[in-house]
């Protein structure tokens, strides 16, 4: 089991398409997190930034960009990039510095400003880059992969288009009560099922949009929290593992899986192993969780996550959903924040936003979306190119 660190403060900028510089969103989130922690900027010893790759040099050096914007204070900085898992990497780096006694209190921040439409690869002729080649040779977009997983659930487990739509309906309803969500609109099953088909069997309202947004988390040592007389939410685990060879599930942005002809495939799939590593580190299991925030890049993908994080056996996710277990008020609410269905994705901020939601839920501050009596929660996510991301927090 890993030593604990404390979450002293959290803050977010609402998700949307605001058309502003990402730094502006990030500063708002930082100041909210500092206020929530009862700290001033000058109290912060390190800024751990999650990088955005769409906003030029300032985005590549996110840690320094926010340190400069808040006013050079001599703080150390770090910057992490792990695609959608960047926020978890930034938290993990901050946690490591605290556990190594290199710092007591650290500000972790991620913010993004995004373009419209499908995420496209970087420009130019890049014949050695699989992310470029998959578009050129196959027209293989991100929704391609989401759709492959969705269709496989239908053919193997009897999932229906109505099941996928029901995930969207649930998450949209949850998001109605979240002031930071981009969309505040309830959907009926019919509305989702009438939206245009994008990548069969997934429809427009079932595929996550890209958004602007920012999230920040102040973490500190348990001693520091006690000195500030706080009984904090604790980070019990941060899993940032990579796959174990051979990775036999087709994954973005690759053309193929690894071959299992010469080396037997591991007992757990990559996505199963991400949560397993987090549970082991926390000394907790799925049965201890009160809620989960998972990456619903598509509605169907949320069902895969139920199984990957151990909420039910393989093939039972549809039953869990149909029984209402994963809605607020159910046995194990999933995405009480509204999830990506209500937010759209702001890549470097999203894994941090998941942790903000756990914090509010575990403090009992989640308002109309509160999961009653929540004592522990898990986040789960994967970043492009093999970045696992799972954080477990508890009271």
Partner 1 sequence: MTEKNVAPSIEGWFTTGDTPHLIGTQCKTCQTYFFPKQDLFCKNPACRSTEFDEVELSRTGKIWSYTEHYYRPPEPYISGDDFEPYTIAAVELDKEKMVILGQVANGVAHADLTTGLAMEIVVETLYEEEDTERTVWKWKPVTD
Question: Cis omega before residue 246 (within 30°)?
Answer: yes
- CA terminus-to-terminus distance, the chain: 16
Q: What is the DSSP letter of 334?
A: B
**In whole angstroms, what is the distance from residue 221 CA to residue 202 CA?**
44
Q: Is residue 194 part of the contact set for partner 1 (CB under 8 A)? A: no
**In whole angstroms, what is the distance from residue 21 CA to residue 78 CA?**
21
Evaluate whether 246 touches 263 at the Cβ level (below 8 Å).
yes
Shortest Å distance, C-beta 327 to partner 1: 28
Shortest Å distance, C-beta 54 to partner 1: 14
Which range, of 13-21, 136-144, 282-290, 384-392, touches partner 1 by CB under 8 A?
136-144
Q: Is residue 245 part of the contact set for partner 1 (CB under 8 A)? A: yes
Which range, of 76-84, 233-241, 249-257, 381-389, touches partner 1 by CB under 8 A?
249-257
**Closer of 102 and 197 to partner 1 (Cβ):** 197
Q: Is residue 260 part of the contact set for partner 1 (CB under 8 A)? A: yes
Q: Is residue 286 part of the contact set for partner 1 (CB under 8 A)? A: no
β-partners of residue 108 are: 48, 217
**In whole angstroms, what is the distance from residue 362 CA to residue 106 CA?**
21
**Closer of 100 and 262 to partner 1 (Cβ):** 262
Q: Is residue 208 part of the contact set for partner 1 (CB under 8 A)? A: no
Shortest Å distance, C-beta 310 to partner 1: 23
Shortest Å distance, C-beta 241 to partner 1: 14
The dihedral through the CA atoms of 111, 116, 122, 124 has a sign that is negative
Choosing from 56, 100, 256, 267, the residue that interacts with partner 1 (CB under 8 A) is 256
Binding map of partner 1 across residues 98-127, x = CB under 8 A, - = no contact: -------------------xx-xx-x-x-x
Task: Tell me which residue has tokens 């299992």.
Answer: 260
Q: Is residue 144 part of the contact set for partner 1 (CB under 8 A)? A: yes
Choosing from 22, 25, 66, 149, the residue that interacts with partner 1 (CB under 8 A) is 149
**By CB under 8 A, how many residues form the interface with partner 1?**
48
Question: Judging by DSSP bridges, how do beta strands 291-294 and 387-394 pair with one another?
Answer: unpaired
Question: Judging by DSSP bridges, how do beta strands 376-383 and 291-294 pair with one another?
Answer: parallel
Shortest Å distance, C-beta 257 to partner 1: 4
Q: Is residue 223 part of the contact set for partner 1 (CB under 8 A)? A: no
In a 3-state reduction of DSSP, which class is residue 376? strand
Q: Is residue 147 part of the contact set for partner 1 (CB under 8 A)? A: yes
Task: Tell me which residue has tokens 């926390």.
Answer: 282
Distance (Å) of CA 285 to CA 55, 162, 294, 302, 324: 39, 30, 16, 19, 21
Q: What is the DSSP letter of 207?
A: B
Q: Is residue 152 part of the contact set for partner 1 (CB under 8 A)? A: yes
Q: Is residue 385 part of the contact set for partner 1 (CB under 8 A)? A: no
Which range, of 73-81, 143-151, 158-166, 186-194, touches partner 1 by CB under 8 A?
143-151
**Closer of 56 and 139 to partner 1 (Cβ):** 139
**In whole angstroms, what is the distance from residue 182 CA to residue 204 CA?**
16
Evaluate whether 392 touches 237 at the Cβ level (below 8 Å).
yes
Q: Is residue 138 part of the contact set for partner 1 (CB under 8 A)? A: yes
Evaluate whether 273 touches 388 at the Cβ level (below 8 Å).
yes
Q: Is residue 160 part of the contact set for partner 1 (CB under 8 A)? A: no
- Nearest CA-CA partner of 351 in 18, 45, 51, 24: 51
**Closer of 63 and 143 to partner 1 (Cβ):** 143
Which range, of 133-141, 284-292, 293-301, 316-324, touches partner 1 by CB under 8 A?
133-141
Q: Is residue 308 part of the contact set for partner 1 (CB under 8 A)? A: no
- Nearest CA-CA partner of 212 in 117, 112, 118: 112
Shortest Å distance, C-beta 389 to partner 1: 22
Count Cβ atoms within 10 A of the Cβ of residue 189 and give its class: 0-12 exposed, 13-18 middle, 19 or more buried.
middle
Q: Footprint of partner 1 on this chain (CB under 8 A)?
A: 117-118, 120-121, 123, 125, 127, 130, 132-141, 143-144, 147-152, 155-156, 196-202, 245-246, 248, 250, 255-263
């Amino acid at each position: 089991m890993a030593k604990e660190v404390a979450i002293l403060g959290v803050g977010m900028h609402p998700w949307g398409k605001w058309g502003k510089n990402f730094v502006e969103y990030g500063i708002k989130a930082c100041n909210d997190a500092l206020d929530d922690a009862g700290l001033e900027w000058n109290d912060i010893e390190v800024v751990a930034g999650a990088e955005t790759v769409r906003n030029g040099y300032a985005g590549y050096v996110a840690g320094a960009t926010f340190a400069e914007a808040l006013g050079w204070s001599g703080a150390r900085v770090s910057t992490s990039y792990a695609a959608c898992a960047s926020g978890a990497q930034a938290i993990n780096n901050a946690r490591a510095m605290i556990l190594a006694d290199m710092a007591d209190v650290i500000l972790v921040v991620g913010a993004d400003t995004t373009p419209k439409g499908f995420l496209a690869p970087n420009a130019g002729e890049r014949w050695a880059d699989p992310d470029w080649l998959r578009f050129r040779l196959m027209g293989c977009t991100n929704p391609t992969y989401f759709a492959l997983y969705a269709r496989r659930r239908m053919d193997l487990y009897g999932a229906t288009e109505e099941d996928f739509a029901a995930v969207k309906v649930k998450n949209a309803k949850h998001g109605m009560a979240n002031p930071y969500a981009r969309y505040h609109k309830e959907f009926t099953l019919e509305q989702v099922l009438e939206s245009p088909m994008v990548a069969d069997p997934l429809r427009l309202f079932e595929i996550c949009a890209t958004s602007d947004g920012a999230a920040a988390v102040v973490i500190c040592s348990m001693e520091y929290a006690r000195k500030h007389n706080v009984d904090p939410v604790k980070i019990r685990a941060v899993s940032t593992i990579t796959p174990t060879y051979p990775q036999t599930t087709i994954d973005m942005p690759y053309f193929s899986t690894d071959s299992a002809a010469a080396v037997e495939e591991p007992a757990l799939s990559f996505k199963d192993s991400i949560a397993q590593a987090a549970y082991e580190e926390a000394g907790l299991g799925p049965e201890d969780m009160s809620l989960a925030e998972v990456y619903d890049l598509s509605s169907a993908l949320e069902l895969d996550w139920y199984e990957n994080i151990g909420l039910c056996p393989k093939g039972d996710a549809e039953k869990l959903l149909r029984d209402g277990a994963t809605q607020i008020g159910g046995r194990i609410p999933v995405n009480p924040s509204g999830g990506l269905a209500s937010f759209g994705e702001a890549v470097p901020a999203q894994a941090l936003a998941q942790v903000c939601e756990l914090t509010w839920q575990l403090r009992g501050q989640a308002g109309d979306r509160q999961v009653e009596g929540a004592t522990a929660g898990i986040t789960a996510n994967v970043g492009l190119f093999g970045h696992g991301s799972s954080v477990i927090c508890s009271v």
